[in-house]
Amino acid sequence: MERELVLITGLGGVLGCPFALQIANRGADIVLWDYNSSTDEQTAKFGREMGVKANAYTINLTNHDTIYQTTDQVRSEMGNDVTMLINNANVVPGLQLLEFPRWPAGEDPIHQLSRPFLDDVGLPALDDG
């Protein structure tokens, strides 16, 4: 996975940090996005100790303008485009599909609201190849 730049959202749950550290252990640089900066920064620190570039960003994934602005910041600070996206934000572990809560109108889960905009984060790099 060397030379990959992997963006992982949702570091606060049970999957985000282990995903990030396994990916860093394989030599990929990591970009961490979550609304909780302490979780992000601690995981980024572990990644840097493993010898990869690792940056954490506190971001509200329901704000589309913020997604695009932070993407530009990532390109500037990390030196290239995201090559892989793990959209782990607001994933509810342990529920079957039919057990998933019904969301009131206007309160859709972050995972669904952010998806089209997160896809844009990595797609420009894929178009070049």
Q: How many domains does the chain have?
A: 1
One digit per residue, the tens of pLDDT, for the chain of length 129 reads: 888 999 998 887 778 899 999 999 999 999 999 887 777 899 999 999 999 999 999 988 877 788 889 999 999 999 988 888 888 876 655 555 555 555 544 555 554 545 555 556 655 554 554
C-alpha–C-alpha distance, residues 24 and 41, integer Å: 14
Specify the CATH number for the domain of residue 53: 3.40.50.720
42 class by beta-carbon count within 10 Å (0-12 exposed, 13-18 middle, 19+ buried): middle
Amino acid identity at 76 = S
C-alpha–C-alpha distance, residues 54 and 58, integer Å: 14
Owning domain of residue 107:
5-128
In sequence order, what are the residues at sequence separation of 6 or more whose Cβ sits closer than 8 angstroms to the Cβ of residue 49?
Answer: none
In sequence order, what are the residues at sequence separation of 6 or more whose Cβ sits closer than 8 angstroms to the Cβ of residue 21?
Answer: 43, 46, 47, 50
